[in-house]
Amino acid sequence: MRYVQALKIAIRSILSNKLRSFLTMLGIIIGVTAVIALVSIGQGSTKSVTSQIQSMGSNLIMVSVMGRGSQASLTYEQAMTLKDGNYIKAVSPVISSNVTAKYGNNSVDSAMVNGVNSDYQAIRSIQVAEGRFISPMDDEGRNKVAVLGHNVATELFGFTDPVGKTIKLNGQAFTVVGVLALKGSSIAGSDDDAIFIPIKTMFYFAKNKNIRQIYIGASNPDTVEIAKNMINNHLLEVFKGDTSAFTIIDQSQILSTVNSVTTTLSLLLGGIAGISLLVGGIGIMNIMLVSVTERTREIGIRKALGAKKRDILLQFIIESLTLSGLGGILGIIAGYILAVTLGKAMNIDANPTLSTILISFSFSVLVGLFFGVYPANKAANLNPIEALRYE
């Protein structure tokens, strides 16, 4: 019953100074809003990037060749010897170049053209919406055929079916044999904005046979490490033991790095937002001290009528907790709305999790308790006689 009475007194005191109480809670509201919104954005970004990495293709291994001295790259044949059939099921060297793509009066400047072989489709889990992808016959015959990313096809052809049409890449004619399904961007770039041609055609089109990028598909997730070791040993032989001549990374490494960075970023953002809660707590402490001064005679009267130290202490602590609790609830509502709004604007899933909401609210209540103890203790320790004399 004592707690209920103390809560009623606290609410009556808060309502008697509505504007001051709201301004006091504002720091807590802003703090909780910021924590929920920023942490949710950080978590949503992590999910988005993780999804993009996974969409790059299952069991993916990427090899980048820097080379040293006279051997700064690999030949196509050297790259294809990495495919063993047991632990490595697919290998696709990639050569890229920027071109101007044209069809009629429509053009795409600085379009990315990738020279790849037929394995690229399986390695990157590419879905073809119309037509087909590059075939082994296209590659061996050095055919001038092209597969368009969704966005490139839309810019060049609009709603017209591109399959069978002829486009020009830097003035050279290529027949469109396929259009990719819309996939979205990933950490390795967007296939939606790319054009794919046979890699052996690319040798002559771009006048470049140097292989510096290789996409490799392991047979299954369990063979990724074995495949990486095989690739590493093979390349060490090619580059005569020079470990700095190439790098080998897989999805798990990328995911681990990204998760580490985004987790740190989320904690940093949450910490920065948490500072707002501390500022809000200081505001509560300041107002509670003012309240003690204003209500000195009231405290003296209550003590004279038999109120004990713990009753006064309880009253002011509950008042502080009520301010921070209400501020926390309003902050949760505002934070949820802000997180969802920003998530939609950034095209990520930023819905706040229950744990984020509970942690934010708990922290706001703890801040109210921490900064409310000193004013409450000061009020409880007032001498009733001096308090009654206070003007």
Task: Write the pLDDT tens digit of every residue in 309-322.
Answer: 777 777 778 878 88
Q: Are 47 and 153 found together in one domain?
A: no
pLDDT one-digit tens code per residue, 342-359? 888 888 888 888 888 888
Residue with the bigger pLDDT between 301 and 195: it is 195
> String of b and e for 297-309 (b: at least 16 CB within 10 Å)?
ebbbebbeeebee
What contacts 235, CB < 8 A, 6 or more positions away? 63, 65, 245, 246, 248
On whether both 202 and 261 belong to a single domain, the answer is no
Contacts of 227 (CB under 8 A, 6+ apart): 61, 87, 88, 216, 218, 219
Better pLDDT: 102 or 388:
102
Note the pLDDT tens digit of each residue in 261-284.
Answer: 777 777 777 777 777 777 777 777
Where is the domain boundary, 207, 238, 269?
238
Separation between Cα atoms, residue 96 and residue 202, nearest integer Å: 9
> What pLDDT shows up at residue 305?
67
Contact 60, 251 (CB under 8 A): yes
Mean pLDDT (whole number) for 80-86:
84
| Mean local confidence (pLDDT), 75-103 | 90
Task: Kindly state whether residues 316 and 353 are assigned to the same domain.
Answer: yes
| 42, 118: one domain | no
Question: Residue with structure tokens 């819905």?
Answer: 351
pLDDT score, position 148: 96
Do 214 and 77 lie in one domain? The reply is yes
Residue 250 lies in a domain: no
Task: Give a yes or no: residue 244 inside a domain.
Answer: no
Q: Does residue 32 have a pLDDT over 70?
A: yes
Confirm whether 40 is domain-assigned. yes
Residue 246 domain-assigned?
Answer: no
Q: Does the pLDDT at position 383 exceed 70?
A: no
User: 288 with 328, same domain?
Assistant: yes
Same domain, 291 and 382: yes
Mean pLDDT of 300-305: 68
Choice between 285 and 62, residue whose per-residue pLDDT is larger: 62
User: Contact 65/233 with Cβ under 8 angstroms?
Assistant: no
Determine, yes or no, domain membership for 213: yes
pLDDT, residue 360, reads: 84
Mean pLDDT (whole number) for 164-172: 94
Q: Is residue 63 part of a domain?
A: no
Percentage of residues in the chain having pLDDT higher than 90: 30
Please check whether residues 267 and 224 belong to one and the same domain.
no
Highest mean pLDDT pick, 132-136, 158-162, 272-276: 132-136
Domain membership flag for residue 64? no
Res 38: pLDDT: 83
pLDDT band of residue 1 (cuts 50, 70, 90) is very low
Round the CA-based radius of gyration of the chain to a whole number and report it: 33
Q: What is the pLDDT of residue 224?
A: 84
pLDDT > 90? residue 22: no
Average pLDDT over residues 315-339: 86
Is 149 found in the same domain as 268? no
Q: Considering its fold, how many domains does the chain have in total?
A: 2
Is the same domain home to 231 and 262?
Answer: no
271 within some domain:
yes
- Which range of residues forms the domain containing residue 46? 2-52+256-389
Judgement on whether residues 224 and 301 belong to the same structural domain of the protein: no
Same structural domain, 114 and 229: yes
**Which helix or strand (DSSP H or E) is residue 68 part of?**
none
Cβ atoms of 325 and 317 closer than 8 Å: no
Contacts of 19 (CB under 8 A, 6+ apart): none
